[in-house]
Structure 1
């Protein structure tokens, strides 16, 4: 369960039969994708890779799904007007736990590939990527400004 204001998590239905499985990752009747996505992309990352930290300051909302492999998603809320300022959310999602996570873009967020396999992150952001003027502010993965240790093992 999420603690950060405006972060939402949706369990994805996995439909399994003798051929494999099918997972719906986007439906217009889900409230999770509000506002509507403007594009979609995926990234493939090797085991142990950390892609963090970044945030968007022009209203973008991200929607993370991990259809292959496993990732630890970290979200940090340092928004001054937020009731959950200073809170950290962590989620382990992937093949074993099919979920979609709605991330307010103005929260710091990123992910780490956990396990021994590559992982795919699928994102449905609400803004188009602007190659000339990207809406991204970045921090290094291991920064004292965010109280999350990517190497911390679950209990």
Structure 2
């Protein structure tokens, strides 16, 4: 369960048969989510690669799903007005654990591809990416400002 205020997790139903499987990753009738994606994209990440840290300051909310491979997602709350300021959450999602993570964009967040295979991450952000003025603030993955050691084994 998440510790950070405004993070939400949804278990995704895997419908499997002899042909393979189908997983719904977004539905407008999911009550617990106020999802209004402005766009969608996916990224492929090689094993061991860390894509962290960044946050959005203009109201964007991200919605992460990992349909292939496995990723460790880190979210750190340093919002001044948050009841969970200073909290860190980590989640391991992927083929073995199909979940959607709603991430408040103003929290620092990122992920690491774990396991032996490349991972796919799908994101449904609530704002369009602005190529001229991106709504992103970045920190290096090994910053001392966030208490997460990406090399530490994931807790499941």
TM-score normalised according to structure 2 size: 0.97
Paired with 1:154 and 1:131, the residues of 2 have a C-alpha distance of 34
Please give the residue correspondences for 1:116-155 in structure 2 after superposition, counting only pairs within 5 Å: 116-154=116-154
What's the counterpart of residue 13 of structure 2? 13
Q: Say yes or no: does 1:68 pair with 2:68.
A: yes
Paired with 1:87 and 1:33, the residues of 2 have a C-alpha distance of 22
Paired with 1:8 and 1:130, the residues of 2 have a C-alpha distance of 26
Give the ranges of 4+ consecutive aligned residues of structure 1 lying more than 4 Å apart after TM superposition: none
TM-score normalised according to structure 1 size: 0.98
Gaps of at least 5 residues in structure 1 are none
CA deviations over 1:60-108 (Å, ceiling 9, x no partner): 0000000000000000000000000000000000000000000000000
Please give the residue correspondences for 1:4-153 in structure 2 after superposition, counting only pairs within 5 Å: 4-153=4-153
Paired with 1:120 and 1:32, the residues of 2 have a C-alpha distance of 24
Residue 32 of structure 1 contacts residue 102 of structure 1 at CA under 8 Å; is this kept in 2? Answer: no
Paired with 1:117 and 1:33, the residues of 2 have a C-alpha distance of 30
Paired with 2:154 and 2:120, the residues of 1 have a C-alpha distance of 21
How far apart are 1:25 and its partner, in Å?
0.2
Q: How much is the aligned-residue C-alpha RMSD, in angstroms?
A: 0.9
How far apart are 1:133 and its partner, in Å?
0.3
Between the two proteins, the alignment pairs up a number of residues equal to 155
